[in-house]
Every structure is written in C-alpha cells, then in structure tokens.
C-alpha cells in the first residue's frame, strides 16, 4: 500500500525531530523534571513540526512504561501503540478551523471535568487555534486560568498575532524555526538511502530550497518527483522539470541583464526561460534571492546560500560591483510588491514580464538623494526667475521629477 513519505517518516519521538533543537531540548528537560506546563502553544509556519511535537509530547506524557529518567515514549505500551493507530480516547485532537464556535469549546471544557480513562493525563491538541471565535477563546480562557490537574492543552498556530493576549499570557510558547535548507537536504538524503533511491546533492538541495523551510513540504515534493523517476534514481534535471525551476545559470543571466537595464535582451531571456515551463513564481523567487545576495555582497556580508555554486557566487559579486544599494533596495521593494500582484493574476507569466519591464524602467530613475538635490536646485531656479513661462517650465520639470520619484519609491507619500 502506498503511504506518502510525509506520513511514513513522521517523527515518533523527540530524537526524530529535525531542525528544532532548542524547543526539543527545553521540552525534554521539562519532561525529566516533571515540569511540563498545562497549556503549551507551538507557533511557526506550515510544516515545521508544530502538531508533530504536540503529538510526541502527548504520547510521552501518556506512555505507561516511561521511567522518570526518560523523556522519549517507549513505543510499545498500550497507550503508545494506540497512539500510533490514532486510537486514543484520552488524547482529543481538535481542528479549530472546523470547530470555531463557543459550543464546540463548551463541549471540550465539559469533558475536561472527567478524568482520563487510563493514565495520568487527558490531553487536548488544538490545531490552528487562531481560528477560534472570540467567545470560544473566552470560554477556553476560563479553563486555562484554572486547569484541572489531569488536563494538558497543546495548541498549534501559524498565526500567533491572532491569538488574544489574555490567552498568550497563560500559555508556554514555543516558536518553531523554519528549517535550514542544508539541514533539509541532509535529512532527505537519509530518507532516500532508506528508500533505496539514488540521488545527487544538487537534486536534493533543489528540493530543500523549494520546500521553504518545511520538512513536511520537502517530503511531499520528493514524493511528487519520485512519480516521474525511473529505476529509483533522481537527477537534478528531473527535479527542475517537475518543480518548473530553471538552473541558476539562465536566471543569473537574466538577473545580470535586468541589473544592466537591458530591456530587449532581458525580455528575450525571460521568455526563453518561461517557455521551458518554468513557473513565474519560481523565477521571481530566485530573482529575489539574487537581489538579497548582491545586497549582502555589496555590504561586505557573507552570502548565506550554501548551495550556491562558486561560479554563481563570482557572477553575483561581479554584479554587486556595479550596483548601488539604493537601486537594489528599490528593486527589492518592487519585486516584493510584484509578488503579491502575480499571486492574484491568472496569467502569471505576463504579470512577471510586466514587472520586469517596470523594474528596468525604474532603474533609469534617479536615486532619492540625487532627486532631492535636483529638486532643490530647480526650486531655487523657480524662485530666482520672474518670467512666467520660465516659472511654468521649471515647475513642470519639478512636477515631473516628483512624479518620477513617486513611481520609483513605491512606499513614498506626498505630504
């Protein structure tokens, strides 16, 4: 039977959790000291291990064989076995996204009064807790203020800012990090070994990069790519094909053309890349990486992408020599804003082409300092000059400069 990799390799104990060392350290110490709080909140982006950690913690707290000097669940007792089979009466998992109302919460609170059928703790795992309604949060708050001894609340959220302060002040909060792409690539390599898949470092680092810090996503992507793999072997080329990503060589060429404001060749190169079924989103995302890397290089900071080839890094450093920090930050702003536009556009490839054209036009505009200097000189000339037509033409020039500035500094507002 086919089991998705993300399910098959879902961590069953703390030692299996990847990339959350500090959280794991604090939790396991708390378990050893028998000081695990009544209400714990895990926060972080999707797929970083929030619910997984909540489940492992629940499993550990309810494990029947665990000794006081151990922090991992045994995996063999009735409770652990039932847990693996999703057959636990005393661990109640609630998806707040579909149980948002106060009545759902009242039901939960009501059941808190009863002791667990077996073991020491009755555990509630509330996923996406930020989705609860205001009245549901209020009902929950009362229980969090005076929780029964035998109850633990383990909550998870991707949107911490939507959780009321009153709740936050009563929970122990753990912020989960996005997992480093190098760590994800290492992890995928061990999974591929176990699955007898032969795969190179470049292919793995591409998958890891595309997963954006999420272990779960990285496994889902790997699953997706394995559908097209022959004889259990995976090449970087196949990964690119499935994920619709271009290699850095082509994208760097496009980036260099953009930075040198070469409109015609930029558009030509862009159309060539996109015609190979590379997604607009993937192109934009890598271009944004490049802007960031060049800004790092320009500021004498280390370029943090450990998967970047030496050639690519040399090329980026070369581009950095001719780029100004203000134009880099302007391009960055435009790409960030453009990313939102592209998301809502049906024809993403056109939206990105328009965005690139805009970036090139904006690169001809003066920097803010330069513009302000020009503006000062012009207003001085206007006040000096008394002839009407001259005033008008100077004012026109100042006006159009102002317009230019408004276009080039999207965040700017006229006072």
Residues in contact with Zn ion by the rule CB under 5 A: 63, 65, 73-74, 77, 80
Describe the crossing of helices 280-298 and 310-322 by its angle, rounded to 10 degrees. 70
The token duo for 98 is 């579909």
In angstroms, how far is CA 269 from the centroid of its own chain? Answer: 29
Non-local (6+) Cβ contacts of 98 within 8 A are none
Nearer Cβ to Zn ion (17/331) = 17
Contact 42, 154 (CB under 8 A): yes
Nearer Cβ to Zn ion (77/102) = 77
Distances (CA, A) of 49 to 57, 119, 206, 402: 12, 25, 21, 49
Nearer Cβ to Zn ion (83/174) = 83
Least distance in angstroms from the C-beta of 10 to Zn ion: 17
How far apart, in whole angstroms, are the C-alpha atoms of residue 396 and residue 399? 5
Nearer Cβ to Zn ion (60/398) = 60
Least distance in angstroms from the C-beta of 59 to Zn ion: 7
Nearer Cβ to Zn ion (74/391) = 74
How far apart, in whole angstroms, are the C-alpha atoms of residue 395 and residue 7? 67
Least distance in angstroms from the C-beta of 74 to Zn ion: 3
Least distance in angstroms from the C-beta of 75 to Zn ion: 6
Least distance in angstroms from the C-beta of 60 to Zn ion: 8
Nearer Cβ to Zn ion (77/375) = 77
Least distance in angstroms from the C-beta of 62 to Zn ion: 8
Residue in 92, 117, 122 with CA at minimum distance from that of residue 105: 92
Distances (CA, A) of 381 to 77, 257, 367, 393: 87, 38, 21, 11
How far apart, in whole angstroms, are the C-alpha atoms of residue 394 and residue 379? 8
How far apart, in whole angstroms, are the C-alpha atoms of residue 269 and residue 275? 10
Least distance in angstroms from the C-beta of 271 to Zn ion: 59
Nearer Cβ to Zn ion (63/282) = 63
* Helix (H) / strand (E) containing 214: none
């Amino acid at each position: 039977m086919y089991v998705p990799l993300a399910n098959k390799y879902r961590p069953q104990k703390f030692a299996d959790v990847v990339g959350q060392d500090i959280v794991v350290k604090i939790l396991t110490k708390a378990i050893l000291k028998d000081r695990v709080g009544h209400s714990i909140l895990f926060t972080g982006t999707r797929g970083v291990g929030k619910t997984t950690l909540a489940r492992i913690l629940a499993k550990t707290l309810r494990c029947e064989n665990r000794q006081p000097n151990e922090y991992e669940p045994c995996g063999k007792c009735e409770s652990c076995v039932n847990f693996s089979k999703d057959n636990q009466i005393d661990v109640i998992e609630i998806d707040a996204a579909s149980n948002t109302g106060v009545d759902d919460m009242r039901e939960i609170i009501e059941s808190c009064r009863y002791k667990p059928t077996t073991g020491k703790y009755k555990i509630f795992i509330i996923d996406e807790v930020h989705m609860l309604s205001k009245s549901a949060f209020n009902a929950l708050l009362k229980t969090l203020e005076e929780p029964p001894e035998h109850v633990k609340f383990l909550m998870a959220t991707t949107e911490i800012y939507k959780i009321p302060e009153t709740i936050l002040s009563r929970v122990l909060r753990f912020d989960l990090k996005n997992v480093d792409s190098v760590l994800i690539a290492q992890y995928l390599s061990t999974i591929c070994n176990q699955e007898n898949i032969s795969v190179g470092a470049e292919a793995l680092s591409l998958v890891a990069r595309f997963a954006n810090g999420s272990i779960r996503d990285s496994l889902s992507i790997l699953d997706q790519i394995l559908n097209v793999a022959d004889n259990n072997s995976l090449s970087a080329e196949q990964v690119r094909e499935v994920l619709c990503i271009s290699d850095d060589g082509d994208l760097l060429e496009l980036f260099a053309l953009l930075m040198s404001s070469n409109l015609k060749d930029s558009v030509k190169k862009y159309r060539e890349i996109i015609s190979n079924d590379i997604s607009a989103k993937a192109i934009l995302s890598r271009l944004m990486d490049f802007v960031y890397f060049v800004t790092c290089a320009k500021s004498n900071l280390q370029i943090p992408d450990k998967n970047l080839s030496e050639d690519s890094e040399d090329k980026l450093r070369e581009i950095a020599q001719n780029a100004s920090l203000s134009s880099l930050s302007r391009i960055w702003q435009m790409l960030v804003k453009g990313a939102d536009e592209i998301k809502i556009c049906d024809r993403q490839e056109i939206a990105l082409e328009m965005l690139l054209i805009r970036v090139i036009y904006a690169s001809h505009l003066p920097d803010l300092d330069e513009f302000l200097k020009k503006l000062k000189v012009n207003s001085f000339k206007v006040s000096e000059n008394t002839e009407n037509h001259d005033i008008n033409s100077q004012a026109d020039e100042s006006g159009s400069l102002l317009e230019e500035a408004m276009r080039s500094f999207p965040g700017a507002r006229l006072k």
